[in-house]
């Protein structure tokens, strides 16, 4: 079996389109890689090999008929277990939802299939997708293939671990407070949180989302190259009337000056020396690529993060807590109970105040990003955490939430953001977060490609014991 799984998704798609290899070849290699490494990391928690090969045969048949098969022609990818895929359980890491079998696909699944992707398997997440760590009572623990003592990230921890270990070339993830950006950071990958409205969302198997999730939760890709993020975003962002927030925005906006802001300690974030060094290094890489980089203070982030937490966890808090108690998941309960004083009660007046304040905060950020094409800042105030750190004690719980300020705030502001892996500290990954204006994912990736090009490419690894 050839090691096609080592290649980028773009390279695999090109080989398949040119008939140098078949989609079945790529799928077989991906399944073999999954069998070889997934037992050590538990990234993929549901997959059906015969279905995978059937998808590949459909791509090969379309190519044989000289039909256009899309930007992800035959590329094996994974999807997170919290979105509907027909015939599969949408568990979201919950025993409570083990029997929630989707009868239709979510829009992102349909878009990926239309783009020619072969869906390899479904990846793990924490219960309710609440944490920056990935473990639950139905699927178990996911390990970081780079170092099992550190978190693979969450909530799309299975997605990050899978791509890092070469299980699929691209992974789908979701992000309401960092759940794409943090697994990319922890696993040494790139991960894109698109603008709200870019990628259509809907799960017919579950109740309608609350307003906080509607205006801040997104689907997006994780990959080992920025180029793969580009083709994945193109594939994911198809029109779908099931999502009233979907916007027909162009993937490429007007040319913008290569001017970047850089902030090592946004809104007073306590940032470790290793993280500061990584962000500063990313700024230097941009400068060498012809960008102007200016160190500045950002508009408010801390208030945005606090309000995002309230919208995410405070809306229907008692119902969320009751569900977590029925599930009995310790991490989910710790998340809700640990944040209770910050988010509850969240009455109609507080809800109105949060949404009103949101307009003011977004306006300030849009003005800021009119002057700078992108902002470079930390993904987290710390290197990836020791696995399970938030469960050690109250001090550790607070430490985790404080460090994640740059991730939590961005969804409240409705902005796109990209994690770019910049290297390793020992064997611990580190990276930088690139933020731009609404629907300017293209500028995030333009800067990301310059940062990526000046470093060591992210490559799939064998899990470390």
Residues belonging to the active site: 80, 155, 179
How many angstroms from the chain centroid is the CA of residue 11? 22
Considering only CA atoms, which of 312, 309, 413 is closest in space to residue 361?
Answer: 413
**∠ Cα 219 225 226 (to 5°):** 65
The first and second tokens of residue 297, run together, are 């203070």
Residue 355 makes CB contacts below 8 A (sequence gap 6+) with none
Q: Are 115 and 105 in contact (CB under 8 A)?
A: no
| Element (DSSP H or E) covering residue 219 | strand 218-223
First to last CA, the chain: 24
How many angstroms from the chain centroid is the CA of residue 350? 29
Name the E strands within 265-334: 292-295
The CA-atom distances, in angstroms, between 252 and each of 2, 13, 248, 442 are 36, 22, 12, 6
User: To which residue do tokens 């090109």 refer?
Assistant: 14
**∠ Cα 293 296 297 (to 5°):** 150
The CA-atom distances, in angstroms, between 297 and each of 263, 304, 465 are 6, 15, 41
Euclidean distance between CA atoms 379 and 192, whole angstroms:
12
* Sheet with 428-435, edge to edge strand ranges: 44-46, 118-123, 76-80, 170-175, 218-223, 190-193, 417-425, 428-435, 374-377, 259-262, 292-295
């Amino acid at each position: 079996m050839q090691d096609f799984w080592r290649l980028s998704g773009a390279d695999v798609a090109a080989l398949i389109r040119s008939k140098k290899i078949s989609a079945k070849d790529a799928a077989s290699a991906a399944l073999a890689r999954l069998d070889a490494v997934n037992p050590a990391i538990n990234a993929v928690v549901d997959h059906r090999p015969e279905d995978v090969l059937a998808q590949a045969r459909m791509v090969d048949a379309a190519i044989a008929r000289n039909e256009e098969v899309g930007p992800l022609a035959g590329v094996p990818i994974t999807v997170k277990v919290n979105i509907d895929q027909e015939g599969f359980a949408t568990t979201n890491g919950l025993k409570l939802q083990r029997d929630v079998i989707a009868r239709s696909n979510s829009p992102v699944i349909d878009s990926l299939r239309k783009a020619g992707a072969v869906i390899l398997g479904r990846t793990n997440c924490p219960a309710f997708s609440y944490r920056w760590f990935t473990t639950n009572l139905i699927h178990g623990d996911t390990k970081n293939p780079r170092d099992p003592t550190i978190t693979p990230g969450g909530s799309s921890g299975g997605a990050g671990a899978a791509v890092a270990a070469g299980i699929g070339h691209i992974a789908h993830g979701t992000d309401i407070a960092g759940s794409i950006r943090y697994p990319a950071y922890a696993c040494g990958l790139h991960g894109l949180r698109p603008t709200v409205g870019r990628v259509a969302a809907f799960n017919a198997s579950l109740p309608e989302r609350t307003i906080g999730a509607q205006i801040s939760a997104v689907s997006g890709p994780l990959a080992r190259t920025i180029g793969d993020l580009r083709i994945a975003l193109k594939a994911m962002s198809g029109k779908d009337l099931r999502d009233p927030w979907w916007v027909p925005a162009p993937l490429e906006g007007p040319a913008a000056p290569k001017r970047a802001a850089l902030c090592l300690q946004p809104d007073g974030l306590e940032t470790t020396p290793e993280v500061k060094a990584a962000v500063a290094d990313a700024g230097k890489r941009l400068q060498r690529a012809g960008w102007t980089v200016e160190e500045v203070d950002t508009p408010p982030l801390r208030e945005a993060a606090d309000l995002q937490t309230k919208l995410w966890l405070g809306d229907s808090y008692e119902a969320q807590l009751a569900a977590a108690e029925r599930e009995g998941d310790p991490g989910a309960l710790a998340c809700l109970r640990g944040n209770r004083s910050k988010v509850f009660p969240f009455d109609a007046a507080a809800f109105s105040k949060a949404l009103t304040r949101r307009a003011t905060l977004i306006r300030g950020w849009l003005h800021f990003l009119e002057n700078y094409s992108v902002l470079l800042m930390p993904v987290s105030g710390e290197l990836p955490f020791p696995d399970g750190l938030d469960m050690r004690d109250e001090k550790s719980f607070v430490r985790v939430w404080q460090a994640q300020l740059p991730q939590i705030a961005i969804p409240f502001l409705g902005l796109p953001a990209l994690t770019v892996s910049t290297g390793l500290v020992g064997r611990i990954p580190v990276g930088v977060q690139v933020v731009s204006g609404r629907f300017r994912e293209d500028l995030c990736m333009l800067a990301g490609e310059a940062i990526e090009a000046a470093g060591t490419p992210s490559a799939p690894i064998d899990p470390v014991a």
